[in-house]
Structure 1
Amino acid sequence: MNKIGIFFGAGAEIGYGLPSGGRFALDIFKMGKEADRDEFKEIIKGIDPSSQIARKWLPERYRSRSIYVFGKGNFDEIIASSLENRRELILSYLQTFDDKLSQIIKQTDGIDEARIRQTFEDMFQKKIGTFLYADQIQLNQKLTSESALFSSAFFSAYLYMLEKTANSGVRNIVLGLMELLVGSLGETLVNELNNELVKTDKPGLNVFNDLGSLFALNYGSLGNTGLDLALRPASTPLSDSSTIEDIFVEIGTRLLEDAYAQVLDYQALIDSHFRYLFQPKVQWAKFTRIAVFLYSVQRYIKEQVPADIPQEGFYHDLNQLANRFTLSSIGTSNYTNLLRKIVAEDLCSPQKIFHLNGHIDDLYDPYRNQIYHKQTDIDSSTQLTVPFLLTQSGVKPLTAVSMSERYVDYYRDLKKCQKIAIIGYGFNGDDGHINGIFRRLADEDNKQLHLFHYGHNPDGSDLPALYAEKLRLTKKENLIIHLIDDIRQVQGKNWTEVF
């Protein structure tokens, strides 16, 4: 039989109850860190003072030092990174404010859009959508000539409610949305200014190129009202007795959560701390923050895996695929045990599974630069380990020989395959270590990649060109795009039947 290689991204586990990549990022910063801080404190205390790492690597008085975690003091870095790297996505989200809010309303128990509209009309004697603020409020022309947000029916309703009631909750929603809008437009303006400070047709006058980037956005002054709301501990249930102000505050907060789940970028924050995982003496605070963060990620992932695993999903579908192909190897960017567990139970033959972003059972020793797969392999009195989970980061080092082998072995296995399928994966910029594998397969090895794109393509956009740009490919023709729906079907058939 022909060989097939598979790669699963975060989208493949949504059907099993796991969060999307964006929701994962938001939840990590939302969850409490006290348990993880206490756990790491005990790990530090358990290290023998006479051990090599205590004498040579850890700072003096390491047992009594404070353990730090990421908190509100790090919000500026998160907002800066999000606006710098996701500003186009933020603006696109706000351009379709009414559609996004309608989706939020449908997902919220205790309310429906018709009731919201009627309750608003009863209170203010105005129908939502019959008045807009586009002609009454204009942003500075240097930022943009127009903004669809002020032409939004629901955002205009927020502004009208704020104008009439001065409700503090509504004010915070409006402020949080405006922070995203003005911050994204401001970042775009600053970027344009820095990229073209001086225009000249004189090639000899390149002295202007040495001016560098003079302008920057002051993120500290921008505020983080929206992120504060998005990171609230829990949502507020709504009912028939909820006031229109309560409803608007709750759905607005949920919309901000959804927006940040899609655009949150904490790469700069992680990158600025990750290197101190190897240098605890240099910056103990940053060392402990990144270490505790990795323990928080591990705990979060374990808590998200359902006790009763659904009996159908992409991983279960591999059984059908195994009837027609030899499953050469399976790669994944996910951290859970789900894939291993389901494959072990459903498939007769053992499979090679490559966790290219680490795994919840992987442990990393930054002092020895080694990866371990079992806690029993570690002497906790002489070694310090952290969960080996490569989250959103531009660092993502190969770190150790065994990790380098994962990438190389997976690539070599895929190279021998007649078919290669990629499911639930977005080819994000911070996944360059994985994207490079597929780029080489398509461009240098002339392998066709079957990409399963979730949803429809109503605007007729050139999906191969879109993915070729994400992958930085020269051979777009080696991308075969399949549109897949909620029930894992492509044109009415299970995705495994398209090959």
Structure 2
Amino acid sequence: MKFGLFFGAGAEVGYGLPLGGKFAIDLFRQDNTKEKSALREVLNGLNNLTMYATKWLPDNYKGKRIHAFGKTEFRSLIESSIEYRKATIVERLNAFDQLAANALDSCDIKQEILEQKFKEFTGKDYGSEIYSQEIKVNPTLTGNVLLFESEFYSAVLDVIRKEGDTADIEKYATSILQLLIGAYGQELVQKVNQEIFTKAPDDLTILDDISGMFRLEFDKIGNTALGLLLASGARCEVNDTSGIQDILLAVLQEALELLFTEVLDYQSLIDSHWRYLYSPREDWAKFTKMVIFLHTTRSYMLQQLEANIDADAEGYYHDMLKLLDSSDTIEAIGTANYNNLIERVCGKIIEKTSIYHLNGSVNDFYNPYKNTVIHDDDGKIPTDQIHVPFMLTQSGVKPLTSISMSRRYVELFDKFKETDAIIAIGYNFNIDDNHINGLFRQLIEDEGKTLFWVTPIDEKSDGHLTKTLEEKMRLPTSVRDQVHIVRVNRESRQTDDGLLWVDQIRATLAESSVESSEAK
């Protein structure tokens, strides 16, 4: 059998690396002094007599201040998240007990300890009283607030009402409530702005000017979350001996971080600043902000790789190599991940030329002046002109038009065409990756390829997941038989039948081959 494989961030969690959204928050906590110094060194080394320096860069570029993103940009990220991902915010906060349970796991605190500490402090059983009848939200805003039915959030309110120092807990409880009400408020404002007139003639254009008159005061919604997220780099250290206030604070911190890990719309920041990479002369501040941000991102990713990688762990990359134990072959590997972990694990067995980083990587560098992407296996950053790490560019169309990047897509597509099956692991087919999703769609719809989607076991049915894929990839139902869901345990990567995902896919293909032969 010939296989093609494609990996997303979820494939690397088992190696100790965080999911993709986590870094978006941490980036704003990083010290970028080193990156500023490196850019200054490049600027000082440029030849002042070239057209590059005299026409493309601004006057006195060697002496100009180098800027970086700060609180203003992070605040705009939170505003954008509330505006564009309000549905997810509402969904997560209305299921706050599940979010709190995930945070408890992250803090390594058992539910029984939480309940015991709560009873010792309040004299009440955890969950025996909730606030759904005591606190009501104005029905004009929404009639569907479930936060006050949460046992955990109700416990937080109980502790706040007791005597003691709960100032930090109150900040987090307030922030969560602000985000929920803000998300509902944004939905209401958007609806009112779009439907000020429920009926009007099309030729009365003056009515078009009476729109967009209402807006939320995002400063009152996001400022609390902004301050808490930027300040919470060092988490509360809690254990079984900690008091209820410390435990609640740690869980609230982690819950807020988990929420924004999922919804933080960092892509909007990239989209709004990417174009300034092409015009440093017009806006030097935004140009340098983007340059520093991308270099800081690369530094952070490399630090994460070195600090968190578990060299002894076995994960999807090791599993993949088991395909080669028999007569199976791996035609090509695609990845949406930026780091070079896959090369570290597989580089001695699989040719690096068979691995395609479609969203760029820590070893890819983009020259906005020439619209070219170069690759360096050693990660050596060019200094002849200003280059930025080529990553976070899902919406950056121009870099994808460079010859080297276009060739990656075409080569991977052509190699996937030669396979018997394509396997996607840890990849969610999100809208930001539609440039990759289109590749899969054409392989399935036009080339008749079979796709196996390896995904963690959860409560969703196979039918639901298949429909989700059809929506994300714009697939017709006529090709549904070509899409297979492979559910695996997150830790063991095995199916409910105890088969490793590799073996499950082999078994499915063997069964299909037998059925096909019998049909003939």
TM-score (normalizing by structure 2): 0.88
Q: Confirm or deny that 1:16 pairs with 2:15.
A: yes
Distance 1:56 1:340 in 2: 40
Alignment coverage as a number of residue pairs? 495
Aligned to 2:159: 161
Q: Confirm or deny that 1:494 pairs with 2:500.
A: yes
Aligned to 2:129: 131
Could you tell which deviates more after superposition, 446-455 or 384-393?
384-393
Could you tell which deviates more after superposition, 148-157 or 471-480?
471-480
Distance 1:450 1:19 in 2: 24
Q: Confirm or deny that 1:325 pairs with 2:324.
A: no
Q: Secondary structure of 1:107's match? A: helix
Q: Confirm or deny that 1:480 pairs with 2:484.
A: yes
> 1:205 and 1:483, CA in 2 relative to 1: closer, same or farther beyond 3 A?
farther
- TM-superposed CA distance for 1:208, in Å, is 5.2
Aligned to 1:354: 356
Aligned to 2:337: 334
* Aligned match for 1:344, one of 333, 343, 347: 347
> 1:376 and 1:85, CA in 2 relative to 1: closer, same or farther beyond 3 A?
closer
Aligned to 1:151: 149
> 1:215 and 1:408, CA in 2 relative to 1: closer, same or farther beyond 3 A?
farther
1:443-492 residue CA offsets vs partner (Å, 9 max, x unmatched): 33332221112222356761111111122222451322111222222332
Question: Any gaps of 5 or more consecutive residues in structure 1?
Answer: none
> 1:49 and 1:435, CA in 2 relative to 1: closer, same or farther beyond 3 A?
same
CA contact (8 A) 1:429 1:470 kept: yes
- TM-superposed CA distance for 1:159, in Å, is 1.7
- TM-superposed CA distance for 1:424, in Å, is 0.5
CA contact (8 A) 1:271 1:395 kept: no
- TM-superposed CA distance for 1:330, in Å, is 0.7
Q: Secondary structure of 1:21's match? A: coil
- TM-superposed CA distance for 1:99, in Å, is 2.3
Distance 1:181 1:493 in 2: 42
Distance 1:362 1:203 in 2: 51
CA contact (8 A) 1:22 1:261 kept: yes
CA contact (8 A) 1:5 1:420 kept: yes
TM-score (normalizing by structure 1): 0.92
- TM-superposed CA distance for 1:422, in Å, is 0.7
1:133-167 residue CA offsets vs partner (Å, 9 max, x unmatched): 11111112122113110111111121222233472
Residue identity opposite 1:36 in structure 2: E
1:5-59 residue CA offsets vs partner (Å, 9 max, x unmatched): 1111111111111111121322223323222222222222222222332111111
Aligned to 2:101: 102
> 1:193 and 1:439, CA in 2 relative to 1: closer, same or farther beyond 3 A?
farther
Q: Secondary structure of 2:4's match? A: strand
Q: Confirm or deny that 1:246 pairs with 2:246.
A: yes
Question: Any gaps of 5 or more consecutive residues in structure 2?
Answer: 507-520
Aligned positions of 1:378-457 closer than 5 A: 380=383, 382-391=384-393, 393=395, 397-457=399-459
CA contact (8 A) 2:236 2:249 kept: no
Q: CA RMSD in A?
A: 2.5
Distance 2:195 2:379 in 1: 57
CA contact (8 A) 1:75 1:224 kept: no
Distance 2:214 2:126 in 1: 40
Q: Secondary structure of 1:235's match? A: coil
> 1:392 and 1:35, CA in 2 relative to 1: closer, same or farther beyond 3 A?
farther
> 1:453 and 1:377, CA in 2 relative to 1: closer, same or farther beyond 3 A?
closer
CA contact (8 A) 2:373 2:402 kept: yes
Percent sequence identity is 37
Aligned to 2:514: none
Q: Confirm or deny that 1:113 pairs with 2:111.
A: yes
Residue identity opposite 2:244 in structure 1: I
- TM-superposed CA distance for 1:396, in Å, is 7.2
Q: Secondary structure of 2:363's match? A: strand
> 1:298 and 1:275, CA in 2 relative to 1: closer, same or farther beyond 3 A?
same
Aligned to 1:200: 199
Distance 1:461 1:155 in 2: 34
Distance 2:49 2:83 in 1: 46
Distance 1:118 1:481 in 2: 41
1:228-263 residue CA offsets vs partner (Å, 9 max, x unmatched): 323322112124553322222121111111111111
Aligned to 1:175: 174
CA contact (8 A) 2:87 2:183 kept: yes
Residue identity opposite 1:472 in structure 2: R
1:357-378 residue CA offsets vs partner (Å, 9 max, x unmatched): 1111111111111112238997
Distance 1:366 1:413 in 2: 29
CA contact (8 A) 1:176 1:227 kept: no
Distance 2:385 2:53 in 1: 9
Residue identity opposite 1:17 in structure 2: G
Aligned to 2:317: 315
CA contact (8 A) 1:274 1:395 kept: no
Distance 2:209 2:77 in 1: 29
CA contact (8 A) 1:9 1:423 kept: yes
Aligned to 1:6: 5
CA contact (8 A) 1:489 1:495 kept: yes
Distance 2:398 2:235 in 1: 34
Q: Confirm or deny that 1:261 pairs with 2:261.
A: yes
Residue identity opposite 1:414 in structure 2: F
CA contact (8 A) 1:421 1:450 kept: yes
Aligned to 2:40: 41
CA contact (8 A) 2:319 2:502 kept: yes
CA contact (8 A) 1:81 1:267 kept: no
